[in-house]
Amino acid sequence: MEWLNKLFDIHKLPFRITLLLSFVSGGVIFCPQQIANTLYFVPLKEKYGSFIGLAFLFFGALVCINILLAIFKRLHLLFLRRKLTNLKRDYLLSLDYAEQAVLREFYLQGTHNIKLPTDNPIVAGLINRSIIHLASRTGHAQLCGFVFPVTFDNFAKGYIEQHPELIRITQNESEEWLMQNRPDFIHDIMRHDSLLRF
């Protein structure tokens, strides 16, 4: 069984080394006779030709397998990204009132990063759905919960900007209405930040 373990170890060789070994073994086998004479490959081919041929087939197969695996992983990643994008879009199309209020804060505060209590169910749901992301692992406890800086997901932000009605930031909503319908914890965060300034 030791030879089998060594075989799997060979399979773990970096792609560049596998490609090089395949190229070298193939070069020894398929190079023209004149070049083989010049490079003194003829004695090598005559004595070890069968082993070099097996090496070419083996490493050539590894190269093909690695290429196919790389293509498969790339396609799988593209599929997952498209699926995640579709899930984000569907979620944005069905935002409830509280979720709309949280996302409006990015526009009301006019910044890419805002402070939110990540243990709040609404905020946690938006993070789990990849609509917003943690901008830093450093946060602090406040009365409203554990507050961390968060950032808007690029796709979600672009989609909201194309469809501002999804979070009700169109011209139909007055500034007074927007300010009166902010999440309750925003006032706690602003009060806490204002106290720290003194």
End-to-end CA distance of the chain: 73
- The string of DSSP letters for 57-73 reads HHHHHHHHHHHHHHHHH
What does pTM read for this prediction?
A: 0.67
Whether 17 and 66 map to the same domain: the answer is: yes
* The total number of structural domains that make up the chain: 2
Average pLDDT over residues 117-143: 91
User: Would 81 be classed as within a structural domain?
Assistant: no
Tens of pLDDT, residues 39-63: 666 777 677 777 777 888 888 888 8
Whether 190 and 103 map to the same domain: the answer is: yes
Instruction: Answer for the pair 152, 132: CB distance below 8 angstroms, yes or no.
Output: yes
Range of the domain at 152: 97-197
User: Would 154 be classed as within a structural domain?
Assistant: yes
Rounded CA-CA distance 66/12 in Å is: 10
Beta bridge mates, 141: 146
User: Would 88 be classed as within a structural domain?
Assistant: no
Tens of pLDDT, residues 12-39: 667 777 777 787 777 777 777 777 666 6
Whether 111 and 192 map to the same domain: the answer is: yes
State CA 151 to chain mean position distance: 16
- Angular region, 150: left φ>0, alpha ψ -120 to 50, beta rest: beta
Whether 32 and 116 map to the same domain: the answer is: no
